[in-house]
């Protein structure tokens, strides 16, 4: 006989509706903490499923809030869900979900900017979050620096930020964030959500982006890559021979890596920036030797 189809591990609809939870605990949204909630469990289910296969994966969520996405993550095959929340009011409100999850959900009360998710969960781990928009970019940069430690990142951003993550050279949205993101990750836009999908509605459209580690990222040091892209895009209208002056002999650097000195930052692709970062690094590695040269 075939075994019976296994029952879902966790039914997101078995708990009280999210609007009731919000009313019962008086969880008015705080703008300062980027609180825009998703109360439609069909929608949070769609986001959780868009993260990809979760069997044997620990899902890490930043900002569970009232728990709509948390419930949806518990309904996947994820081994465990670890949710990091800064606003203490939600810790009590999430207790019903913790109980219903039978040991699969832990809540960590902390500022996600100060937490290294790798210390909370063993590999394989994935991050899935409807991010607080005021700290979305610094959170992403922190995770990108170690993206090989994650199966995937599935993240809600304001659409304008998502556009920058996937922007190609030559476009207006192409900048530092595009270069750093695409250097480390394959980033894919999954779908957009209008303001009315959230309570309260934010002023902007939102976008879910799926990121996975790039198989063979161009060699370069993170910190040098940050400096080179900051210099180049800090004066994005200027030619690189001008904007890269702070890095040393810009003309020689550009010639060495085969980029026209008259090019502007937005014309240079990820491989070009990585080559620049390697050239800057090589000069700096060589510099101490020069200072010891006999006069
Ligand atoms: N996941 C919930 C949902 O989809 O309805 C809430 C998403 S809401 C956009 C962002 C959540 O992140 C809020 O619950 C907020 O309190 C929390 N948050 C804001 N800043 C945070 C931080 N620095 N660390 C951890 N959580 C934070």
Distance (Å, whole) CA 196 – CA 193: 8
Q: Name the least confident of 29-43, 125-139, 274-288.
A: 274-288
The binding site consists of 36, 38, 63, 85, 111, 130
- The owner of tokens 């200027």 is 238
Model-level ipTM above the cut of 0.90: yes
Task: Tally the residues of the chain.
Answer: 295
- The owner of tokens 């951003």 is 157
The binding site for S-adenosyl-L-methionine consists of 36, 38, 63, 85, 111, 130
The predicted pLDDT at position 6 comes to 55
Q: Is the dihedral of CA 36, 192, 213, 82 positive or negative?
A: positive
Residues 60-71: what's their mean pLDDT? 98
- Phi, psi for residue 168 in degrees, rounded to 5: -100, 155
Please determine, for residue 176, whether its predicted confidence score (pLDDT) is greater than 70.
yes
Distance (Å, whole) CA 154 – CA 82: 15
Kindly indicate the confidence band of residue 290, based on its pLDDT and cuts at 50, 70 and 90: low
The predicted pLDDT at position 1 comes to 57
The predicted pLDDT at position 132 comes to 97
Please determine, for residue 2, whether its predicted confidence score (pLDDT) is greater than 80.
no
The predicted pLDDT at position 8 comes to 58
The predicted pLDDT at position 9 comes to 78
Q: Is the dihedral of CA 188, 195, 32, 175 positive or negative?
A: positive
Please determine, for residue 291, whether its predicted confidence score (pLDDT) is greater than 60.
no
The predicted pLDDT at position 100 comes to 97
Q: Is the dihedral of CA 204, 63, 184, 76 positive or negative?
A: negative
Q: What confidence tens digit (pLDDT) does each residue in 200-213 have?
A: 999 999 999 999 99
Please determine, for residue 3, whether its predicted confidence score (pLDDT) is greater than 70.
no
Q: What is the whole-number distance in angstroms between the Cα of residue 10 and the centre of ligand 1?
A: 22
> Other C-beta atoms within 10 Å of 9: how many?
13
Residue 276: both structure tokens together: 């620049």
Top-confidence residue, 288 or 252:
252
Report the residue among 88, 132, 157, 158 best suited for mutation to probe ligand 1: largest number of ligand atoms under 8 A from its CB: 132
Assess contact for 61 and 129: CB atoms under 8 A: yes
The predicted pLDDT at position 38 comes to 98
Q: What is the whole-number distance in angstroms between the Cα of residue 210 and the centre of ligand 1?
A: 19
The predicted pLDDT at position 74 comes to 98
Q: What is the whole-number distance in angstroms between the Cα of residue 27 and the centre of ligand 1?
A: 12
User: At CB < 8 A and 24+ separation, what contacts does 112-119 make?
Assistant: 112/62, 112/63, 112/84, 112/86, 112/139, 113/138, 113/139, 113/142, 115/84, 117/60, 117/82, 117/84, 117/143, 117/150, 118/146, 118/149
Q: Which atom of ligand 1 is nearest to the CA of 90?
A: 14
Radius of gyration of the chain (CA): 22
The predicted pLDDT at position 123 comes to 97
Q: Which atom of ligand 1 is nearest to the CA of 87?
A: 16
Q: Name the least confident of 8-12, 48-52, 121-125.
A: 8-12
Kindly indicate the confidence band of residue 234, based on its pLDDT and cuts at 50, 70 and 90: very high
State the average pLDDT for the chain: 95
The predicted pLDDT at position 4 comes to 54
Whole-number percent of the chain with pLDDT over 90 = 93
Evaluate the omega torsion of the peptide bond into residue 200 and state whether it is cis, within 30 degrees of 0: yes
Among the listed residues 209, 208, 210, 229, the one whose alpha carbon sits nearest the alpha carbon of residue 218: 229
In 20-52, which positions are buried (b, 16+ CB within 10 angstroms) versus exposed (e)? ebbeeeebebeeeebbbbbbebebbbebbeebe
Q: What confidence tens digit (pLDDT) does each residue in 141-157 have?
A: 999 999 999 999 999 99
Which residues are registered as beta bridge partners of 155?
129, 209
Whose CA is closest to atom 11 on ligand 1?
63
């Amino acid at each position: 006989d075939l075994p019976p189809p296994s029952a879902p591990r966790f039914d997101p609809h078995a708990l009280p509706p999210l609007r009731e939870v919000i009313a019962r605990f008086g969880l008015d949204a705080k703008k300062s903490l980027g609180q825009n909630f998703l109360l439609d469990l069909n929608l949070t289910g769609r986001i959780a499923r868009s993260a990809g296969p979760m069997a044997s994966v620990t899902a890490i969520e930043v900002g569970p809030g009232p728990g709509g996405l948390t419930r949806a993550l518990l309904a996947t095959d994820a081994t465990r869900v670890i949710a990091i929340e800064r606003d203490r009011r939600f810790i009590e409100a999430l207790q019903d979900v913790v109980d219903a999850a039978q040991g699969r959900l832990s809540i960590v009360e902390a500022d996600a900017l100060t937490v290294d998710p790798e210390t909370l969960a063993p590999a394989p781990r994935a991050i899935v979050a409807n991010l607080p928009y005021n700290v979305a970019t610094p959170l992403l940069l922190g995770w990108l620096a170690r993206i090989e430690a994650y199966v995937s990142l599935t993240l809600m951003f304001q659409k304008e930020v998502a556009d920058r993550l996937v922007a190609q050279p030559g476009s207006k949205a192409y900048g530092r964030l595009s270069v750093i993101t695409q250097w480390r990750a394959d980033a894919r836009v999954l779908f957009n959500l209008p303001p009315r999908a959230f309570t309260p509605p934010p002023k902007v459209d939102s976008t879910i982006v799926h990121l996975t580690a790039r198989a063979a990222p161009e060699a370069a040091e993170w910190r040098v890559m940050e400096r080179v892209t900051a210099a180049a895009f800090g004066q994005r209208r200027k030619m690189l021979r001008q904007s890269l002056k702070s890095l040393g002999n810009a003309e020689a650097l550009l010639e060495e890596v085969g980029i026209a000195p008259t090019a502007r930052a937005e014309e240079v692709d990820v491989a070009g920036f990585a080559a620049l970062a390697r050239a800057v690094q090589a000069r700096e590695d060589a510099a101490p030797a020069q200072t010891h040269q006999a006069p």
